[in-house]
């Protein structure tokens, strides 16, 4: 077995903490995966795994980390800045490694002894401009990770993509670079066992979707000029996304599959804003922008610190973000509804954690 310590008793670790990698005497990670026993042939792994997560400090990563630790797995999270992982520190059996995440050597050292790698790295408006910045975050990072995975002999990769990702025909740099990263994963070495996830927009107490609109509505007294108001989404709860990753950990029938992940409600952007306003008990007066003005809004907002909206985001909104196949159904997940849950964190005096600005 690849584990060294009982994960539920391991102390939270920091950037400076020593690695909890398996001993040299342990069987290889690949052999361990092959002999792992499952409570059900598909989803339930009975033994703890060593799991590497890139992008584990983010909105999805934090939710996934909590669930993985609860099930007894041992995590190693790579980050550009150890402080980004502060919220993970209370979790047992999580090791934070700070370093140059684009360095194959750094990633290789993080992957030592791991059974599974999870790639959650992504950004909507990273530094460096839409084309070069997104290429670096999605394509260059995935290429470095795949090289490190090959060197370390890690047998399994779970790759986060996005609905409508398409290397050739994607509507935006974001969607094209996500598609290119998918292509790299699919074209990787024979022995790598991968699964790709393509969610629609993801919601939850710490999201940057509903929380951002709630802040905007508060700042503007409820008046909102809205780009692509009729663009449709099927928002999926962060817990359902994390559950999809958990169910694919073991491989089995999820190996070499791509899952589209959508929630039960198909909503226009305008409906999402109205729902947010209702949950937050704010007034709401939406001015749907014609496309030319929406594009100009992107031009203006990408110059604002934090780039809350961009021309590339506008291009992503040109295509509906709704599933053609039900990944949740295939994985046995019954997704929860944004309409039902939004008041839990948006209602005035809610104690749930609020969203944070995405990091570039
Ligand atoms: N949230 C959604 O609605 C949604 C929808 C579809 C797909 N996705 C995809 O799901 C994944 C997770 O999303 P999320 O909402 O959890 O994002 P998030 O909160 O912004 O976290 C993204 C992670 O990526 C890393 N990262 C960000 N910018 C980077 C850069 N310039 N270079 C290297 N690393 C960088 C960060 O790690 P460190 O800061 O620790 O280095 C961070 O932990 C992403 O791949 C995203 O594209 C999200």
Q: What is the pLDDT of residues 230-266, one digit of tens each?
A: 999 999 999 999 999 999 998 999 999 999 999 999 9
SS3 per-residue string spanning 189-258 = CCCCEEEEEEECCEECCCCCCHHHHHHHHHHCCCEEEECCCCCEECCEEHHHHHHHHHHHCCCHHHCCEE
Dist. CA 352 → ligand 1 center (Å): 21
Q: Say yes or no: CB of residue 101 within 6 Å of ligand 1.
A: yes
- In this structure, the answer to whether residues 202 and 295 fall within a common structural domain is no
Question: Is 75 domain-assigned?
Answer: yes
Entry pTM: 0.88
| Domain assignment present for 360 | no
Range of the domain at 305: 210-231+265-320+337-345
16 domain-assigned = no
User: Ligand 1 test: best mutation among 14, 53, 55, 141, most atoms within 8 Å of CB?
Assistant: 55
Residue 326 lies in a domain: no
pLDDT 10s digits, 39-78: 333 345 668 999 999 999 999 999 999 999 999 999 999 9
- For 285-306, what is each residue's pLDDT tens digit? 999 999 999 999 999 999 999 8
Same domain, 219 and 143: no
Do 153 and 216 have their domain in common?
no
Residues 215 and 142 in one domain: no
- Cβ–ligand 1 distance for 58 under 6 Å, the answer yes
- Residue 11 forms part of a structural domain: no
The answer to whether residues 118 and 255 belong to one domain is yes
Tell me how far CA of residue 97 lies from CA of 106, 263, 328, in angstroms: 9, 33, 32
Asked if residue 202 has its Cβ within 6 Å of ligand 1, the reply is: yes
58 Cα–ligand 1 center, Å: 6
Q: Which residue has the tokens 């993080």?
A: 110
Question: In which band, very low, low, confident or very high, does the pLDDT at 181 lie, cut at 50, 70 and 90?
Answer: very high
Q: Which of 20-34, 129-143, 154-168, 279-293 has the lowest mean pLDDT?
A: 20-34
């Amino acid at each position: 077995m690849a584990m060294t310590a009982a994960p539920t008793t391991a102390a939270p670790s920091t950037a400076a903490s020593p690695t909890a990698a398996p001993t040299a005497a342990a069987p290889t990670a690949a052999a361990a995966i092959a002999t792992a026993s499952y409570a059900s042939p598909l989803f339930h792994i009975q033994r703890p795994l060593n799991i590497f997560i890139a992008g584990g400090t983010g909105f999805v990563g934090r939710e996934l980390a909590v669930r993985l630790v609860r099930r007894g797995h041992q995590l190693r999270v790579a980050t550009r800045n150890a402080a980004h992982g502060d919220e993970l520190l209370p979790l047992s059996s999580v090791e934070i490694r700070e370093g140059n995440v684009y360095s194959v050597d750094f990633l290789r050292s993080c992957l030592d002894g791991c059974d599974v790698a999870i790639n959650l790295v992504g950004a909507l408006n990273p530094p460096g401009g839409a084309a070069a910045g997104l290429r670096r975050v999605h394509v260059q990072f995935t290429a470095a990770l795949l090289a490190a995975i090959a060197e370390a002999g890690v047998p399994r990769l779970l790759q986060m993509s996005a609905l409508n990702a398409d290397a050739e025909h994607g509507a935006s740099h974001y969607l094209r670079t996500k598609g290119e990263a998918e292509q790299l994963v699919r074209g990787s070495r024979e022995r790598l066992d991968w699964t790709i996830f393509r969610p629609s927009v993801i919601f939850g107490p710490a999201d940057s979707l509903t929380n951002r609109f709630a802040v905007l509505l508060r700042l503007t007294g409820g008046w909102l000029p809205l780009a692509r108001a009729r663009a449709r989404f099927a928002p999926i709860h962060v817990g359902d996304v994390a559950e999809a990753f958990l169910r694919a950990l073991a491989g089995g029938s999820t190996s070499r599959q791509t899952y589209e992940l959508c929630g039960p409600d198909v909503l226009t952007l305008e409906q999402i804003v109205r729902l947010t306003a209702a949950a937050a008990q704010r007034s709401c007066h939406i001015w749907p922008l014609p496309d030319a003005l929406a594009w100009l809004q992107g031009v203006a907002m990408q110059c604002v610190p934090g780039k809350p909206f961009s021309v590339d985001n506008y291009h992503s909104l040109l295509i509906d973000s709704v599933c053609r196949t039900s990944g949740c159904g295939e994985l046995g997940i019954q997704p929860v509804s944004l309409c039902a849950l939004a008041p839990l964190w948006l209602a005035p005096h809610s104690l749930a954690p609020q969203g944070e600005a995405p990091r570039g």
